[in-house]
Structure 1
Amino acid sequence: MPNRAAPLDLLLLPTWLVPVEPAGVILKEHALGIRDGIIAYIGPREAALRLECTEVRELPGVLLSPGLINAHGHAAMTLFRGLADDLPLMTWLENHIWPAEARWVTEAFVRDGTDLAIAEQLKGGITCFSDMYFYPDAAAERVHESGMRAQITVPVLDFPIPGARDADEALHKGVELYNDLRHHPRIAIAFGPHAPYTVGDENLEKIRVLADELDAAIHMHVHETAFEVQQAVEQTAERPLQRLARLGLLGPRFQAVHMTQISDDDLALLVETNTSVVHCPESNLKLASGFCPVERLWQAGVNVAVGTDGAASNNDLDLLGETRTAALLAKAVAGSATALDAHRALRMATLNGARALGLEACVGSLELGKAADITAFDLSGLAQQPIYDPVSQLIYATGRDCVQHVWVAGKQLLDNRTLTRMNEADLIARAQAWGQRIGGTNE
């Protein structure tokens, strides 16, 4: 009881408050209060002003929403942004990205690239992201320092990768990292087998056993292209998703990234196992990988989250823009203008992402008792007027430059579009230095 009467640390007074849960609700003349990093009050503005508060922030023209959740990316690949554009997936990977990674990726590369990605994501309203890249311990260290929230996935392939000579070493280091961070309030460790065509049955079975023992998530590129599926069928007479089901990997902790190729049998497996799908529309469009049938999945009851993928194939980490693309693309693919409406699109970028990452009890919606991971979007600008439905304006008419403030666990990491813990000029200088090295110039 004494806690309940304690003063609020911060009271936010926006024009609109969109909790996401319950679905479709827009609250006006409401306030949100934070205490000890947790949402402690949501209620009428008038009543809130009578509460004892350490700080009160008036936010006129602002829509307050749960922080955006980027459910798939390769953070450090920001340093490869624009390196090999306009190429098909396997040419891009085998002839350009993998050779560049073999030459350049070190712990220092991962630290600097992850810092750049964290800053870009915070400025775009993202409070939590899933990262799948080499030297996951270095990435976790940068997330810890930044104050952001993340799922760090331990990359596993059947061949040597930066930071691990083989899959066994990668898994051993992954378990150590999991144990080191198992009680971290903002970082979850998951396993990241790269794709069905780069990880064999033996290593997938090891991952399944470890994930079961640790109750850890598994994050994997699956059915990214028609070629991947066709090649698997020709070689094994089995679709990749069927193989993963046979090996026991699918389930509520499994995050299937891309899924542009979905048969009736694939859909049945996703539904039956309660597997989440992470949709990366802009990367899929840019690499001509195909179209994830989002509305079909949604109507079948599959949890669909959204991710940017890495900046080497997107080329930005703009989840608000990604969500707009997802909404528009879903309508074209479904042949229906009502597919993935604005409110469901926002849910996909928040609560569905939290559910995919196993974090829905903590984040993803503005509810009492959840962590105060919050984004404030300024809708007062010319391009947003007039406003009939602020969520529609957010999804269809607003860019990430309208992100004004960001809080993670009640700590303000973006204040009036300015990063509070990171030096933007330093980040740009470090990125440019890497660009000169990798590009072979001294400009």
Structure 2
Amino acid sequence: MTADTITAVDTRINARWMIPVVPAGTILNQHALLIQGDRIEAIVPQQEADRRFRARETLDLDEHVLLPGLVNAHGHAAMSLMRGMADDLPLMTWLNDHIWPAEAKFVSPEFIADGTRLAIAEMLRTGTTCFSDMYFFPEVAAQTASDVGIRSQICFPVLDFPTAWGDGPEDYLRQGADLIDQWQGHSHVRVGIGPHAPYTVSDGPLRDIVKLAESKSVPIQIHLHETAFEVADALEKSGTRPSQRLADLGLLTPHTQCVHMTQVDGSDLTLLAQTGAHVVHCPESNLKLASGYCPVDQLQKAGVNVAIGTDGAASNNDLDLFGELGTAALLAKAVAEDAAALSAHEALAMATINGARALGREDEIGSLETGKLADIIAIDLSDPFNQPIYDPASHLIYSQHGRQLSHSWIGGIPQVQDGRLTRIDVPDLVLRVSHWAKRIQQG
């Protein structure tokens, strides 16, 4: 390119700070990000952008930090309609006596559509641009995500017993295989397999899941080592830890996402590191259900990729990933008994490039790099109670939550502008949620 060459782009974003995530620990000051089509064309100092680029639209974000859109690597989106329904209960009581009975009564395609849209609205408004979902009627969740334009990994459920979505493992896998084919190659929606947990899926279906995942080249996401009881019960019944059982069945691979992992010993660490399986940490849900503490620092030092998820709003009770990161950073320090464990930049990586890596999309999203998809968020740090700002990364983790998000783009398309959602009718959504709340309250 000669000095006189001018490149035309669609959008130019001038930001006070930019945290690209890759290279790690980098903060860029007074830079411009250029978008052409659905990709990042360049990231350069603003004065260089003046010389080299002409944009159809320019946005000046003088008090903002720009960073990659966040990846919420685990959740049950439609459970947003159950937010606060059965709080302050142990996991199995919460599931057996409240959540599963409510699901049996209310879960339907309409419930999934409205609950998923509610979750997507909250996630977009707080910085998430890609999420993983594991719930019933995944075909409805996939279509809802596609309609809004958010990136997603939709994991269809597999359990040993019938649910509203199917009669049992064979039915789940048949429907799931069709869903994989339906969304194959889609730019926003990817389909994965979601066996619920080792204690709800027997060996035969797990073997079938491995075969399907290999034949279709899709990921597997499973709740694993969520509680001490889960591990103790497995040891009592079989003499084998759940992680070892999954490894023996061929389920632990670089395409496997292990959610929770609050119970980790040396053998688990070795298995995770050797197989390349990923861990998805859900700190607030684990704390609220008193499930245990994922040893994030220990996992990362062993070379295990650790992403982060909110879990469902029924056990969190929000989907603000910035709040989740603050909790994760503080919890990691307490668990490791090391104030340097999980720094602000490392926490941001968990919700960006680590999440993208867990979902197999690190070549496309998770960092601000030339050629990657333009999935970008902007956080307004102008609030006087955010001042002074010595380190914007530290502020993002320790001093504020996602409601200070001002802008969001997915593939260069605005999803949030000046704090307002652009593709979701919020008043209509509120009416739909109110309808479900009344039905659920009436029982």
Same topology, TM > 0.5: yes
- Identify the match of residue 140 of structure 2 among 138, 152, 163: 138
Indicate the larger mover: 52-61 or 217-226: 52-61
Secondary structure of the 1:404 match is strand
Any idea what the Cα deviations from partners look like across 1:76-134, whole Å, max 9, x if unmatched?
00001111110000010011100000000000000000000000000001000000000
- Identify the match of residue 56 of structure 2 among 48, 51, 54: 54
Partner of 2:94: 92
Query: Partners in 2 of 1:398 and 1:438 — Cα distance?
Result: 33
Query: Partners in 2 of 1:175 and 1:203 — Cα distance?
Result: 14
Partner of 2:374: 372
* 8 Å CA contact 1:149, 1:186 repeated in 2: yes
2:220 matched to 1:222?
A: no
Query: Partners in 2 of 1:171 and 1:11 — Cα distance?
Result: 45
Partner of 1:73: 75
Query: Partners in 2 of 1:64 and 1:211 — Cα distance?
Result: 36
Query: Partners in 2 of 1:275 and 1:384 — Cα distance?
Result: 38
Deviation at 1:306, TM superposition (A): 0.5
Any idea what the Cα deviations from partners look like across 1:162-198, whole Å, max 9, x if unmatched?
1111111111111111111111101110000000000
Query: Partners in 1 of 2:298 and 2:84 — Cα distance?
Result: 33
* 8 Å CA contact 1:383, 1:398 repeated in 2: no
Partner of 2:18: 17
Any idea what the Cα deviations from partners look like across 1:361-413, whole Å, max 9, x if unmatched?
11000001110000100011112110111100111001111100010111000
Which aligned pairs between 1:142-161 and structure 2 lie closer than 5 A?
142-161=144-163
Which aligned pairs between 1:287-436 and structure 2 lie closer than 5 A?
287-436=289-438
Query: Partners in 2 of 1:203 and 1:6 — Cα distance?
Result: 54
**TM-score, length basis structure 1:** 0.98
Query: Partners in 2 of 1:162 and 1:257 — Cα distance?
Result: 23
Indicate the larger mover: 158-167 or 314-323: 158-167
Any idea what the Cα deviations from partners look like across 1:338-362, whole Å, max 9, x if unmatched?
0001000000111100000111011
Query: Partners in 2 of 1:60 and 1:164 — Cα distance?
Result: 52
* 8 Å CA contact 1:383, 1:397 repeated in 2: no
Query: Partners in 2 of 1:263 and 1:257 — Cα distance?
Result: 16
Deviation at 1:11, TM superposition (A): 0.4
Q: What amino acid maps onto 1:64 in structure 2?
A: L
Q: What amino acid maps onto 2:62 in structure 1?
A: P
2:29 matched to 1:28?
A: yes
Q: What amino acid maps onto 2:30 in structure 1?
A: E
**TM-score, length basis structure 2:** 0.98
Secondary structure of the 1:49 match is helix
State the number of aligned residues. Answer: 439
Secondary structure of the 2:133 match is strand
- Identify the match of residue 208 of structure 1 among 198, 207, 210: 210
Secondary structure of the 1:330 match is helix
Query: Partners in 1 of 2:56 and 2:38 — Cα distance?
Result: 13
Deviation at 1:150, TM superposition (A): 0.4
Query: Partners in 2 of 1:29 and 1:228 — Cα distance?
Result: 50
Any idea what the Cα deviations from partners look like across 1:31-65, whole Å, max 9, x if unmatched?
10001110011111111123121111000110000
Indicate the larger mover: 49-58 or 340-349: 49-58
Q: What amino acid maps onto 1:300 in structure 2?
A: A
Partner of 2:234: 232
Q: What amino acid maps onto 2:129 in structure 1?
A: T
Secondary structure of the 1:54 match is strand
Q: What amino acid maps onto 2:75 in structure 1?
A: G
Secondary structure of the 1:79 match is helix
Deviation at 1:5, TM superposition (A): 6.7
2:269 matched to 1:267?
A: yes
Q: What amino acid maps onto 2:13 in structure 1?
A: L
2:106 matched to 1:110?
A: no
Deviation at 1:6, TM superposition (A): 5.3
Query: Partners in 1 of 2:65 and 2:174 — Cα distance?
Result: 44
Query: Partners in 1 of 2:384 and 2:347 — Cα distance?
Result: 23
- Identify the match of residue 441 of structure 2 among 428, 439, 442: 439
Which consecutive segments of 4 or more residues in structure 1 shift more than 2 A?
none
Query: Partners in 2 of 1:265 and 1:5 — Cα distance?
Result: 57
Secondary structure of the 1:324 match is helix
Which aligned pairs between 1:161-176 and structure 2 lie closer than 5 A?
161-176=163-178
Unaligned runs of 5+ in 2: none
CA RMSD of aligned residues (A): 1.1
Q: What amino acid maps onto 1:159 in structure 2?
A: F
Deviation at 1:281, TM superposition (A): 0.3
Query: Partners in 2 of 1:303 and 1:424 — Cα distance?
Result: 36
- Identify the match of residue 193 of structure 2 among 188, 191, 194: 191
Partner of 1:38: 39
Q: What amino acid maps onto 2:28 in structure 1?
A: L
Partner of 1:249: 251
Query: Partners in 1 of 2:99 and 2:403 — Cα distance?
Result: 30
Deviation at 1:251, TM superposition (A): 1.0
Secondary structure of the 1:312 match is helix
Query: Partners in 1 of 2:385 and 2:329 — Cα distance?
Result: 19
Q: What amino acid maps onto 2:35 in structure 1?
A: I
- Identify the match of residue 181 of structure 2 among 149, 172, 179: 179
Query: Partners in 2 of 1:99 and 1:351 — Cα distance?
Result: 37
Query: Partners in 1 of 2:159 and 2:232 — Cα distance?
Result: 21
Query: Partners in 1 of 2:275 and 2:67 — Cα distance?
Result: 30
